[in-house]
């Protein structure tokens, strides 16, 4: 059986030989920075006990429209209360970008972690909590404005609801965002899946466009789909990726 060390050496060689790298950031990598997975079994049970609705129901466009006040209570308590900071994973990706090798950092997290680490080429499939807008006039608002609002944040210009620019359940990825991710993967000569698996719906979508053989998976949890990877390493991303880069 191949050792972790020999796998790391193989990925180092792939990275050295590549010029167009795409890194996909999954929920596992974000959790190593302080985020939570609202939809895993333990969290889902806790949320249903607390709110009497599942996270899938609350975190949806239908629930936002029908019960906006309830949605914002959940949003403040479960999402805006978290403190997330980019860790070694994101600093390693920034180094890849500084070498001129990063085609894009594609992420499904909403906490702006790549940008906080100074990564420039970022494609956000779910938007982020730092962008908020009036649903009527389009005026934009900061995270602090939404975080400090009592109840539903309202537009200071027209009085309509202010909404976070995140993709809720029931909404599609914006066409321009999906096109950018597809183009990046089509042009990539190496794809690194970090902190998730190949059954992640976003990963499945972008894999349709990836055409070469340098497909690397780094994730703490093993999954039956891992065999699709050229190299799969099972450990925390923050422990592995820096060893590949430095």
- CATH number of the domain at 158, please: 3.30.1600.10
Is the confidence at residue 6, as pLDDT, over 90? yes
**Neighbouring residues of 99: CB distance < 8 A, sequence distance ≥ 6:** none
- Residue range(s) defining the domain that contains residue 114: 4-35+84-126+171-245
pLDDT of residue 222: 95
| Chain centre distance of CA 155 | 28
At 25, is the pLDDT very low, low, confident or very high (cuts 50, 70, 90)? very high
**Residue 134 pairs with which residues in a beta bridge?**
162
Please give the average per-residue pLDDT across 185-192, as a whole number. 97
Is the confidence at residue 17, as pLDDT, over 90? yes
**What is the rounded CA–CA span in Å between residue 42 and residue 15?**
36
Q: What is the mean pLDDT of the chain?
A: 97
pLDDT of residue 22: 98
Please indicate, yes or no, whether residues 89 and 182 belong to a single structural domain of this protein.
Answer: yes
Note the pTM of the prediction, 2 decimals. 0.95
pLDDT of residue 152: 97
Please indicate, yes or no, whether residues 93 and 189 belong to a single structural domain of this protein.
Answer: yes
**What is the rounded CA–CA span in Å between residue 175 and residue 50?**
35
Q: What is the pLDDT of residues 192-220, one digit of tens each?
A: 999 999 999 999 999 999 999 999 999 99
Please indicate, yes or no, whether residues 12 and 114 belong to a single structural domain of this protein.
Answer: yes
Q: HEC profile for 149-184?
A: CCCCCECCCCCCEEEEEECCECCCCCHHHHHHHHHH
Is the confidence at residue 238, as pLDDT, over 90? yes
Please indicate, yes or no, whether residues 181 and 120 belong to a single structural domain of this protein.
Answer: yes
User: Which two structure tokens, joined as six digits, stand for 176?
Assistant: 């321009």
Please indicate, yes or no, whether residues 40 and 116 belong to a single structural domain of this protein.
Answer: no
Is the confidence at residue 95, as pLDDT, over 90? yes
Please indicate, yes or no, whether residues 180 and 235 belong to a single structural domain of this protein.
Answer: yes
At 85, is the pLDDT very low, low, confident or very high (cuts 50, 70, 90)? very high
Please give the average per-residue pLDDT across 221-231, as a whole number. 96
Is the confidence at residue 76, as pLDDT, over 90? yes
At 1, is the pLDDT very low, low, confident or very high (cuts 50, 70, 90)? confident
Strand 102-107 versus strand 215-218 pairing type:
unpaired
Please give the average per-residue pLDDT across 44-72, as a whole number. 97
Q: What is the pLDDT of residues 122-166, one digit of tens each?
A: 999 999 999 999 999 999 999 999 999 999 999 999 999 999 999
Please give the average per-residue pLDDT across 216-236, as a whole number. 97
The total of structural domains in the chain comes to: 3
At 244, is the pLDDT very low, low, confident or very high (cuts 50, 70, 90)? very high
Please indicate, yes or no, whether residues 187 and 230 belong to a single structural domain of this protein.
Answer: yes
Please indicate, yes or no, whether residues 133 and 60 belong to a single structural domain of this protein.
Answer: no
Is the confidence at residue 61, as pLDDT, over 90? yes
Please give the average per-residue pLDDT across 81-85, as a whole number. 94
Please give the average per-residue pLDDT across 217-230, as a whole number. 96
pLDDT of residue 16: 97
Please indicate, yes or no, whether residues 141 and 220 belong to a single structural domain of this protein.
Answer: no
């Amino acid at each position: 059986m191949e050792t972790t060390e020999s796998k790391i050496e193989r990925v180092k060689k792939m990275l050295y030989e590549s010029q167009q790298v795409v890194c996909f950031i999954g929920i596992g990598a974000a959790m190593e920075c302080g985020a939570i997975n609202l939809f895993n079994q333990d969290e889902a049970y806790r949320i249903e006990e607390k709110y009497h609705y599942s996270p899938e129901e609350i975190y949806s466009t239908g629930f936002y429209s029908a019960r906006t006040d309830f949605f914002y209570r959940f949003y403040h308590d479960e999402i805006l209360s978290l403190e997330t900071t980019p860790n070694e994973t994101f600093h390693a990706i920034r180094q890849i970008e500084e070498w001129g090798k990063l085609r894009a950092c594609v992420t499904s997290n909403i906490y702006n972690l790549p940008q906080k680490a100074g990564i420039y080429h970022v494609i956000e499939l779910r938007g982020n909590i730092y962008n908020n807008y009036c649903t009527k006039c389009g005026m934009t608002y900061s995270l602090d404005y939404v975080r400090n609002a009592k109840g539903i944040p309202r537009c200071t210009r027209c009085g309509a609801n202010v909404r976070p620019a995140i993709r809720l359940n029931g909404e599609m990825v914006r066409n321009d965002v999906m096109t950018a991710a597809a183009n990046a993967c089509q042009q990539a000569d190496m794809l690194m899946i970090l902190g998730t698996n190949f059954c992640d719906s976003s990963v499945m979508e972008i894999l349709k466009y990836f055409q070469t053989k340098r497909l690397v998976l780094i994730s703490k949890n093993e999954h039956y789909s891992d065999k699709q990877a050229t190299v799969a390493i099972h450990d925390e991303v923050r422990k592995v990726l820096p060893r590949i880069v430095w």
